[in-house]
Amino acid sequence: MKTFSIRIGGEAGQGLVSVGNILLQAITREGWYLFSHRDYESRIRGGHNFTQFRLAPEPVHTYEQKIDVLVALDKVTIDLHKQDLKENGVVIYDPEIQGETISEPNYVAIPFIKVAEDLEQPKVMANAVAAGAIWSLLGDDLGVPHSIFADMFSRKGDEIVEGNKKVSQAGFDLVREALDEREKPAKPAENGPKFLVAGNPALASGALAAGVKFMSAYPMTPSTGVTEFISGHAKECSVVMEQAEDEISAMNMVVGAAYAGVRAMTATSGGGFALMTEAMGFAACAEISVVVIDAQRPGPSTGLPTRTEQGDLLYGFGMSSGDFPKAILAPGDAEEAFYLMGHAFNLADKYQMPVVVMSDQHLADSYETISPLDMSKIVIDRGEIVSGEEAGPDYKRYALTESGISPRLLPGTGPGLSVAAGDEHDEEGHLVESAEERLAMMEKRMAKMKLVAAEALPPVTYGDEEPELVLISWGSTKGALRETVSLLQEQGKKVKGVHINQVFPFSEELEGILNGPGKKYVVESNYTGQLQKLLGMEFAWKPDGSVRRYDGRPLNPDYILARLEGGMQRG
């Protein structure tokens, strides 16, 4: 499949986000499938950031290293990225920022700010000049981008809308004058309905569809987009959104809200997750249903706040002190993120336990066109909740049952007491020290893990059923692995891809794959091979090799193929 990639580089504060938002909407509205990701530094102004767009006539799920167009909004972009240009690739740059005019084929000099000012428009419209210049390589006219300007700026008045149209037309014309007519990227045969969504809004939308009614969080990149989305829709969805003073308070609020009977969640990253572990342990001991999104970034400590990594898996597996029932889900794309949130809340409610949904910066901030979401697939299951009449005055919150699931009475709904006990306790919730009662209560809680494991999600597989090579990944590596499998198949190789979206407990189907045909490689974004270690712990299994990346950048097919061909085990 032939795809077309555009990379726009510049400093924070130069309008990179504005150009990106215009193109995201215009490309989607024009009908292409799209994958877009951001690479940005942890600063408000300065530094070097870039946004990349990959468009195609068929669905795409990852980025490609090589690009067709490079747009330089700052001085260093060309030096950093020109080696990634495809043959006959185009560079659009500002000669006034660059400090020179570059006399090379396919280099187009456009003084973005000057063009806007010459047309008597404010220099902030330089981003519209850049958008028009880029669109000249995609379309025959600016009809679609102009409709985007109308949507984006109509509230600011016709003068602003027309000004953006005027300067974008100038950028469009300057590229057309400088370059010969070029073949436009192919479009889908049918322009069906598509949603453009990133991981964070997808996670938040899934939570709203699943009936979340309380969220508390402290802002922490890259999870903040979840909080912002929930907050922005809180009133219309009847959700209480509380920004806490820190992650400890946030998690305790969530535990309290869940104890009271509503679906409650928080979202954070690794450092914040570390602060939540004591409250997570309380939720586990008191059998309170909570959902936590951990949007991973490279650690330890502050690490690389705006980069990506899958370094929290084993920490999430531990989650808090002691043994207790739990589940960890890891969506691989925005569509899966939406649906897995419904599953996360159902697991938490049915088994009265903490559930962690592991995202990361790459998933959180990457945009993708997907098919319309099916709300009917979100089925709400609140688990075994009893009424006050059923429970009666002798209700035992932690009644010993064969399944380990004690019927739940919501506080204040009956004559019985619904106790929340963080110390070890008996069936009524009274604190105990005896060995016999400790054994009974531990075995009651842990009995639930058999049921959680029995309904563990099977891995998503693609490729050959009798493979010579099996590539295994989890979380946001899904798209890169999927395309790697396709590329290897085009070379005539028998390859199978395995995406694990429930990383604890694992499904029975996964064990069959691990012991099936083909050499096995585990592909993940961390240094120590955390998925590989967890698979080894659960199945006494060892792969034939691994591909790992831990420089803060997302995996892509080029990276994976290079490591497989070179026989390297680490990135």
Comparing CA positions, the residue from 521, 477, 516, 527 lying closest to residue 499 is 477
Comparing CA positions, the residue from 143, 144, 70 lying closest to residue 107 is 70
Greatest alpha-carbon span in the chain: 86
Lowest mean pLDDT among 183-187, 256-260, 478-482: 183-187
Mean pLDDT score, 241-265: 98
Q: Output phi, psi for 384, to 5 deg.
A: -90, 90
pLDDT beyond 70 at 377:
yes
For residue 194, the model assigns a pLDDT of 84
Give residue-wise pLDDT tens across range 385-429: 999 889 999 999 999 999 999 999 999 998 988 999 999 999 999
Residues 6+ apart with CB under 8 A from 175: 92, 108, 110, 133, 136, 137
For residue 566, the model assigns a pLDDT of 64
pTM (predicted TM-score) = 0.95
For residue 234, the model assigns a pLDDT of 97
For residue 570, the model assigns a pLDDT of 41
For residue 174, the model assigns a pLDDT of 97
Give residue-wise pLDDT tens across range 493-505: 999 999 999 999 9
Give residue-wise pLDDT tens across range 244-253: 999 999 999 9
Indicate the CATH number of 196-377 among 3.40.50.720, 3.90.226.10, 3.40.50.970, 3.40.1170.60: 3.40.50.970
What pLDDT band is residue 16 in, cutting at 50, 70 and 90?
A: confident
pLDDT beyond 80 at 31:
yes
For residue 45, the model assigns a pLDDT of 81
DSSP 57: S
What is the spatial distance between Cα 80 and Cα 538, in angstroms, rounded to a whole number? Answer: 43
Give residue-wise pLDDT tens across range 62-121: 999 999 999 999 989 999 999 999 999 999 999 999 889 999 999 999 999 999 999 999
Quick one: what percent of the chain has pLDDT higher than 70? Answer: 99
Comparing CA positions, the residue from 298, 383, 370 lying closest to residue 338 is 370
- Provide the 10 A C-beta neighbour count for residue 408: 20
What is the spatial distance between Cα 148 and Cα 29, in angstroms, rounded to a whole number? Answer: 9
- Do residues 324 and 422 lie in contact, with contact meaning Cβ atoms separated by under 8 Å? no
Residues of the chain with CATH 3.40.50.970: 196-377
* Dihedral of alpha carbons 395, 396, 402, 407, sign: positive
- Provide the 10 A C-beta neighbour count for residue 493: 14
What is the spatial distance between Cα 558 and Cα 65, in angstroms, rounded to a whole number? Answer: 7
- Per-range mean pLDDT, top range of 177-186, 520-529, 559-568: 520-529
pLDDT beyond 80 at 435:
yes
For residue 565, the model assigns a pLDDT of 79
Q: Amino acid identity of 156?
A: K
Comparing CA positions, the residue from 39, 5, 17 lying closest to residue 366 is 39
Helix extents (H) in 32-157: 77-81, 95-98, 112-118, 126-135, 143-153
Chain-centroid distance, C-alpha 75: 31
- Provide the 10 A C-beta neighbour count for residue 418: 18
What pLDDT band is residue 569 in, cutting at 50, 70 and 90?
A: very low
Give residue-wise pLDDT tens across range 449-480: 999 999 999 999 999 999 999 999 999 999 99
For residue 567, the model assigns a pLDDT of 54
CA angle 223, 225, 227 (to 5 degrees): 80
What pLDDT band is residue 47 in, cutting at 50, 70 and 90?
A: confident
- From the CA atom positions of the chain, what is the Rg in Å? 26
Residues 6+ apart with CB under 8 A from 401: 444
Cis peptide before 505 (omega within 30 of 0): yes
Quick one: what percent of the chain has pLDDT higher than 90? Answer: 90
For residue 300, the model assigns a pLDDT of 96
Fold of 460-566: Rossmann fold (3.40.50)
Mean pLDDT score, 558-569: 79
Mean pLDDT score, 278-304: 97
Residues of the chain with CATH 3.40.50.920: 460-566
SS (H, E, C) 436-458: HHHHHHHHHHHHHHHHHHHCCCC
Give residue-wise pLDDT tens across range 189-229: 887 778 999 999 999 999 999 999 999 999 999 999 999 99
CA angle 477, 59, 517 (to 5 degrees): 50
- Do residues 115 and 95 lie in contact, with contact meaning Cβ atoms separated by under 8 Å? no
- Provide the 10 A C-beta neighbour count for residue 519: 12
State the average pLDDT for the chain. 95
Residues of the chain with CATH 3.40.920.10: 4-178
Mean pLDDT score, 53-67: 96
What pLDDT band is residue 554 in, cutting at 50, 70 and 90?
A: very high
Both tokens of 560, joined, read: 């994976």
Residue 283, classed as helix, strand or coil, is helix
Q: Identify the CATH homologous superfamily for domain 4-178.
A: Pyruvate-ferredoxin oxidoreductase, PFOR, domain III (3.40.920.10)
Helix extents (H) in 372-434: 388-391
